[in-house]
Each structure stands twice: as C-alpha cells, then as structure tokens.
Amino acid sequence: MKSAGYSVAVVGATGAVGNEMIATLAARGFPVAELRLLASARSVGKTYEFKGKEYAVAELTEDSFAGVDIALFSAGGSISEVFAPIAAASGAVVIDNTNAFRMEEDVPLVVPEVNPGAIADYKKRGIIANPNCSTIQMVVALKPIYDEVGIRRIVVSTYQAVSGSGKKAIDELEKQVLALFNQESELPVNVYPHQIAFNCLPHIDVFLENGYSKEEMKMVRETKKIFADDGIGVTATAVRVPVFYGHSESVNIETDEKITVDEVRELMARAPGVELVDDLAENRYPLAVEAAGQDATLVGRIREDESIANGINLWVVADNIRKGAALNAVQIAEILIREYL
C-alpha cells in the first residue's frame, strides 16, 4: 500500500456510473493522491467536486494513463476494448465495468463477497472485470447458499431500473411521465424501442440467435464463471421496468441438498453485503426505492418452492449503479491496494 495514495483515473466520469464512482471513492475514503476524470471531447470543460476540490474533465486519449495506478472504466464496451489495454500497458490496473473482457479466460470477473481470490489473476492482463449489475446482486445473495448446500439450477427474472441504461434513459422516463401527465399527444421515445413509462419491456440489450437477450445470457455465463462452476443451470428473463434506481430480481433455486427457509434466513442475516428484509407481518420485503442509495443487497420473500424437493424462492434488490457497478469496482480497488499494489 502506498502511503502517499494512488493516482486514479475514472473513464466515463460524466456518466451515471462514472458520477457514482467519484462519489463512492470519496464516501469510502479511498486514498486518492491524484484524480483524473476522463470522458469524450464533448465533456471537456465540465467540472466535478471531489473532497471539496474541483476537478476538470479531460478528453480520453492514448496518453491519458501515464502515471495512473488504477483506472476505473465505464464508458461502454467499445471504449474499453481500445483503451483498457492501453491503460494496462502504461502500468495502470484496469477495473472495467463493461462486457468487453468479462468472459476472457485470463481476465478475472470479481464480486468481492464471492470470489475475491480471483483478483490475483489481474497480473495476466492488467485488467479486472466487474460483472453485470444483475449478476452481481444475485451472486451476492446466493453465495452463502451455494457454499452451504450447493446450487444445481437458477431461474431468475429481473425487474431492471432505467438507470441501467445511463443518463439518457433516466431523462427519458422522466420526460415520458411528464408528457403523459400533461396529456401531450406525442411521447419522446428514443432510448428504448417502446414507451417505458407505465410499461414493462422484456428486452434488455440486443436479442441473440437463441432468442435470449444479451443481458440474459450475460447473467447465465457470468454466474458460472464467478462460481467457477459450469455445471450450474442458469436461465434468465430480463425485464426493464419504469423504476429510476434499483434492480429487483425473483430468484428461484434448486439446491443439491435440502435447506429450510429458516436456514436460508440465518445465512442471509450474516452474509457479507446482504441485508435480510423479510417480515411479512410488517409488510417488510426488499423494495427498489429503499435499496436506492444503499450499499447492501436486500433479500427477502424467502419461501420454499413447494413444486420440487429442494427449491427456494427469493426476492433480491440492490442499487444497480452502486453495488451493481461503482461500489463493486471500488471494493475491488480496495482489495487491490490492500493486498497487491
């Protein structure tokens, strides 16, 4: 650990995830000696406050990474494909929030509560991948059950907030709601193929040849990689819902050995990164509006799946921009500086 602190670059600093990266670095007291905020040429001139000081955004170029120790990327996959290897070659450790490297064998895909040991493999390429937000919150909740009784199959349906599609989608939901309340004849529909206000779209990212969306297949592949278990069956349905922050998930699992609802509750009550919210008498269960702005992954509605011998249902909710992106990345950076840099 460097006592003087680290030079940290945030690539995509002006975006929904980038803004949260800056806030998370500050909130967690990450030892930042130098902060480099990088985005497109469009954002040059914008400034952000970090720990009481103003920082100007610079244009991302090949020369942006000289002297940088840690580069947090969230400017989209095509930017990461080009610039993450450049950052790594100039000596930075890249923590990449995009899909660009997640499934590459020599790039660790890390959720600190689940597979922190995988971080050691960063040395191979100088890149660590952050999983997709929907995968992260699911594996945080399932890890203690996986360790206790094994998991054979996962059936997950997601209810994903618009902030997962970036700032323009947050604006679009707001504008559509206002237009509907003002009884305007035309709705602005630019980000999604359909109206998102008061609607549910079973369509996140592009559709693939097998009929699944890419978001659904990210959950399938990433879960197997994080648990280092190709034998788990995973099937997903990803749905965009008119919520600003907080992804919710209905998660059904079939375990190898029997586990009771009370045992799952006990595991959740002491699982790292999890908060058990499960009190039906008080109408307490995880809610997106309560998860928003929180670090914890909320787990509740724990029930036995009575249709099979070893089945459990859970409702899992987390702030997709925090634990789903920025917080997970900063937690990885914290382990990196504590154990490796």
Contact residues for ligand NAP, defined by CB under 6 A: 12-18, 39-40, 42-43, 60, 74-77, 79, 97-98, 130, 132-133, 164, 166-168, 324-325
Nearer to ligand NAP among residue 103 and residue 285 (C-beta): 103
| Catalytic status, residue 133 | yes
Among 98, 213, 252, 331, binds ligand 3JN (CB under 6 A): 98
Partner that binds at residue 150, options ligand NAP, ligand 3JN, none, CB closer than 5 to 8 Å by kind:
none
Interaction of residue 133 with ligand 3JN, rule CB under 6 A: yes
- With a CB cutoff of 8 Å and minimum separation 6, the contacts of 245 are 161, 163, 288, 291, 292, 293, 319, 320, 321
Q: Closer CB to ligand 3JN, residue 98 or residue 297?
A: 98
Between 81 and 148, CB nearer to ligand 3JN: 81
CA-CA distance, 340 to 164, in Å (whole number)?
31
**Cα–Cα distance measured from residue 187 to residue 179, given in angstroms and rounded to the nearest whole number:** 6
**Measured from the CB of residue 326, what is the shortest distance to ligand 3JN in angstroms?**
12
Query: What angle do helix axes 16-27 and 327-339 make, rounded to 10 degrees?
Result: 50
Please choose, out of 112-120, 160-168, 255-263, 265-273, the segment that lies near ligand 3JN by the rule CB under 6 A: 160-168
- The least CB distance from residue 46 to ligand NAP, in Å, is 8
The interaxial angle of helices 261-269 and 133-149, nearest 10 deg, is 120
DSSP characters for 189-223?
Answer: --SSSS--TT--BS--S-B-TTS-BHHHHHHHHHH
Is the CB of residue 142 less than 8 Å from the CB of residue 135? Answer: no
As measured in angstroms, the least distance from the Cβ of 111 to ligand NAP is 11
Compare residues 137 and 252 and give the one whose CB is closer to ligand 3JN: 137
